[in-house]
């Protein structure tokens, strides 16, 4: 199996090309062969007709433009008449009934020659045929007659032979080659009922027709020279075909090379792109349209790769920043405490600070792990049909104390009936907790947080609305990004890790839901979680 595109292209192209050349050559040869045969047949037939007309009129063949036509290209061997042409067959002028009729006309079967009466030759089915005239009728022969008057040496041609029998079977006349004294081995066709009968033999064509006074005319057209010419022609065609095929295949190889070259260029560029130079792109300006498409698709992939790589780098930097800060607190605090003897209160303060930092690191690590888990696979989710109302109420109950301690009113509203969702309660509970916690952090004392559960169409909806400071429109698209902070200082004082909302988004999406946020600066924000509603009745 050929694996390279170029090789396969070449193979298919070569095969189709060779096949079409072979078919074309065969068609040409067949056509030439048919032409040779048709021409030979025509020559034989027209010669027979010429002899027929000569027999009837005593004049040399049909008239063309008022002059006698060219004699057929054969030699008469007639001792009585010598080289005189037209030959006088001793029959004188034929009566008008014997005038020539085009042999191509369909005529009734006339039976054997000796049974025929001359008037039957007129053809009783053609009463409205050409009108009978006095004197010889201009016969309508095919315009071409064998032989020509061209000067100079003529190529060897196949000379025709003929023989004419009287109705009693005796030979009236027969041709003989100038170079041969042998009588042609023409036989009077047995039972030749047709006015014109064409026989194809091995290397010749014979035309037999019924002449005047039930004479039988037979003309043989040998094909030896024509066949030799035809074979030469065939050989030439074959030679040209092979030559064309070679040129075509070599040209095709070159063309396919040119087509494949940009693909190689693309693959080289793609191979050079690595983590350190993700900003490289495939040059599409000089490419063909199909390859521009490929290049654009690849460039788009590189673009996304670069973006996700940058996001990853940013995430790593942010994560390390968030981890380093509490670490720096612990390290400097302990170093300071150990630098000289201190009071018990001072050590206690140091330990409290360290504990606080350690807790912050723990929550951060927990958040990162949770994110990594929801990122990697959702297989850990043990989904069951749970009531979203109880999830919201649990979260509110957990955070009620914290809300009261900072002077915020936390309320929850839910419908009478169950709002079923398919979820893992361990993970889903984190969503309202994070949202409410986030709302508490951004709502000043005396504010209000309203948690609502309801159904909308096929969605179970959980919304958390606060009367906080709101989020500026420029920050709104980024609030679910990891470590994105609208105000870098604010949430840190509340112990936020910068991961809460992105964890919410990740969890909600792992449950097949959506989360979004609307906000007005100064009026507050609302976070809406939509999950697919599960019909409890089922």
Partner 1 sequence: MRVLVVEDEPDLLRTIAQVLREDGYAVDEAADGQDGLFKARSWEYDAIVLDLLMPKLTGWQVLEQLRQTHKTPVLILSARDGVTDRVRGLDGGADDYLPKPFHLTELKARLRAIIRRSAGLATSQILVGELTVDTKTKTVTRGDTLLLLTPREFSLLELLAMHRGHVVSRTQIYEHLFDENEDSLSNLVDVHVSNLRRKLGKDFITTRRGQGYILHD
Which residues here bind partner 1, judged by CB under 8 A? 317, 320-322, 324-325, 327-333, 335-336, 339-340, 353, 356-357, 487-490, 492-493
492's tokens: 């840190």
Which distant-in-sequence residues (6+ apart) come within 8 Å of 382 by Cβ? 424, 426
Of residues 333 and 506, the one with the C-beta less far from partner 1: 333
Q: Are 184 and 160 in contact (CB under 8 A)?
A: no
Of residues 86 and 500, the one with the C-beta less far from partner 1: 500
Q: What are the Cα distances from residue 393, in Å, to 243, 247, 390, 420, 507?
A: 89, 84, 5, 14, 18
Of residues 321 and 402, the one with the C-beta less far from partner 1: 321
Of residues 242 and 351, the one with the C-beta less far from partner 1: 351
Strands 204-210 and 216-222 turn out to be: antiparallel
Minimum CB separation from partner 1 for residue 320, in Å?
Answer: 7
Q: What are the Cα distances from residue 321, in Å, to 153, 483, 495, 499?
A: 106, 10, 15, 13
Q: Which helix (H) or strand (E) holds 34?
A: helix 5-57
233's tokens: 């022609």
Of residues 239 and 314, the one with the C-beta less far from partner 1: 314
Minimum CB separation from partner 1 for residue 500, in Å?
Answer: 18
Length, in residues, of the chain: 538
Minimum CB separation from partner 1 for residue 427, in Å?
Answer: 30
Minimum CB separation from partner 1 for residue 323, in Å?
Answer: 8
Separation between Cα atoms, residue 30 and residue 42, nearest integer Å: 18
Q: Are 32 and 111 in contact (CB under 8 A)?
A: no
Minimum CB separation from partner 1 for residue 488, in Å?
Answer: 5
Of residues 63 and 323, the one with the C-beta less far from partner 1: 323
Of residues 115 and 487, the one with the C-beta less far from partner 1: 487
Of residues 116 and 492, the one with the C-beta less far from partner 1: 492
Minimum CB separation from partner 1 for residue 353, in Å?
Answer: 5
Strands 63-64 and 67-68 turn out to be: antiparallel
Which distant-in-sequence residues (6+ apart) come within 8 Å of 276 by Cβ? none
Separation between Cα atoms, residue 286 and residue 262, nearest integer Å: 9
Minimum CB separation from partner 1 for residue 355, in Å?
Answer: 11
Minimum CB separation from partner 1 for residue 272, in Å?
Answer: 23
DSSP string, 473-536: TTTGGGTTSTT--SSTTHHHHTT--S-HHHHHHHHHHHTT-EEEEEEETTTEEEEEEEEEB--T
N-term to C-term CA, the chain: 57
Q: Are 189 and 174 in contact (CB under 8 A)?
A: no
DSSP string, 53-109: HHHHHSSSS-EETTEEPPPPS--EE-TTTTT-SS---S--SPPGGG----TTS----
Minimum CB separation from partner 1 for residue 325, in Å?
Answer: 5
Of residues 28 and 358, the one with the C-beta less far from partner 1: 358
Of residues 263 and 354, the one with the C-beta less far from partner 1: 354
Minimum CB separation from partner 1 for residue 338, in Å?
Answer: 10
């Amino acid at each position: 199996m050929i694996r390279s595109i170029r090789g396969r292209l070449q193979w298919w192209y070569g095969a189709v090309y060779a096949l079409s050349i072979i078919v074309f050559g065969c068609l040409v040869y067949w056509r030439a062969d048919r032409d040779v045969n048709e021409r030979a047949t025509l020559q034989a037939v027209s010669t027979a007709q010429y002899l027929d007309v000569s027999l009837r009129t005593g004049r040399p063949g049909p008239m063309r433009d008022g002059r006698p036509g060219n004699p057929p290209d054969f030699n008469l061997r007639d001792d009585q008449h010598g080289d005189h042409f037209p030959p006088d067959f001793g029959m004188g002028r034929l009566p008008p009934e014997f005038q020539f009729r085009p042999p191509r006309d369909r005529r009734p079967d006339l039976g054997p020659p000796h049974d025929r009466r001359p008037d039957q030759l007129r053809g009783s089915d053609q009463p409205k045929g050409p009108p009978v005239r006095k004197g010889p009728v201009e016969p309508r022969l095919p315009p071409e007659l064998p032989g020509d008057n061209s000067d100079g040496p003529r190529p060897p041609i196949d000379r025709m032979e003929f023989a004419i029998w009287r109705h009693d079977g005796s030979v009236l006349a027969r041709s003989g080659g100038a170079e041969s004294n042998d009588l042609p081995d023409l036989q009077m066709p047995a039972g030749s009922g047709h006015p014109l009968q064409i026989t194809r033999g091995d290397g010749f064509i014979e035309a037999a027709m019924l002449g005047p006074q039930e004479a039988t005319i037979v003309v043989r057209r040998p094909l030896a020279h024509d066949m030799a010419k035809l074979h030469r022609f065939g050989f030439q065609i074959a030679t040209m075909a092979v030559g064309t095929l070679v040129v075509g295949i070599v040209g095709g190889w070159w063309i396919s090379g040119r087509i494949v070259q940009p693909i190689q260029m693309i693959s080289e560029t793609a191979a050079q792109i690595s983590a350190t130079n993700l900003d490289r792109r495939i040059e599409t300006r000089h490419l063909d349209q199909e390859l521009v498409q490929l290049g654009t698709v690849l460039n788009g992939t590189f673009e996304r790769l670069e973006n996700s790589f940058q996001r990853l780098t940013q995430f790593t930097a942010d994560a390390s920043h968030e981890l380093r800060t509490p670490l720096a607190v612990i390290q400097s605090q302990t170093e300071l405490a150990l630098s000289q003897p201190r009071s018990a209160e001072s050590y206690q303060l140091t330990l409290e600070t360290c504990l606080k930092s350690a807790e912050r690191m723990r929550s951060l690590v927990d958040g990162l792990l949770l994110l990594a888990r929801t990122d990697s696979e959702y297989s850990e989710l043990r989904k069951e049909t749970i009531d979203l109302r109880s999830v919201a109420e649990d979260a509110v109950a957990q955070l009620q104390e914290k809300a009261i301690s900072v002077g915020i009113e936390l309320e929850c509203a839910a419908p009478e009936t169950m709002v079923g969702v398919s979820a893992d309660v361990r993970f889903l509970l984190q969503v309202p907790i994070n949202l409410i916690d986030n709302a508490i952090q951004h709502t000043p004392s005396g504010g209000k947080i309203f948690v609502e559960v309801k159904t909308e169409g096929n969605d179970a909806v959980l919304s958390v609305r606060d009367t906080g400071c709101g989020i500026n429109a420029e920050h709104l698209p980024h609030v679910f990004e990891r470590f994105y902070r609208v105000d870098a200082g604010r949430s840190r004082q509340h112990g936020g890790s910068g991961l809460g909302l992105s964890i919410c988004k990740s969890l909600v999406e792992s449950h097949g839901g959506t989360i979004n946020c609307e906000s007005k600066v100064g009026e507050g924000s609302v976070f809406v979680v939509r999950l697919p509603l599960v019909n409890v009745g089922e």
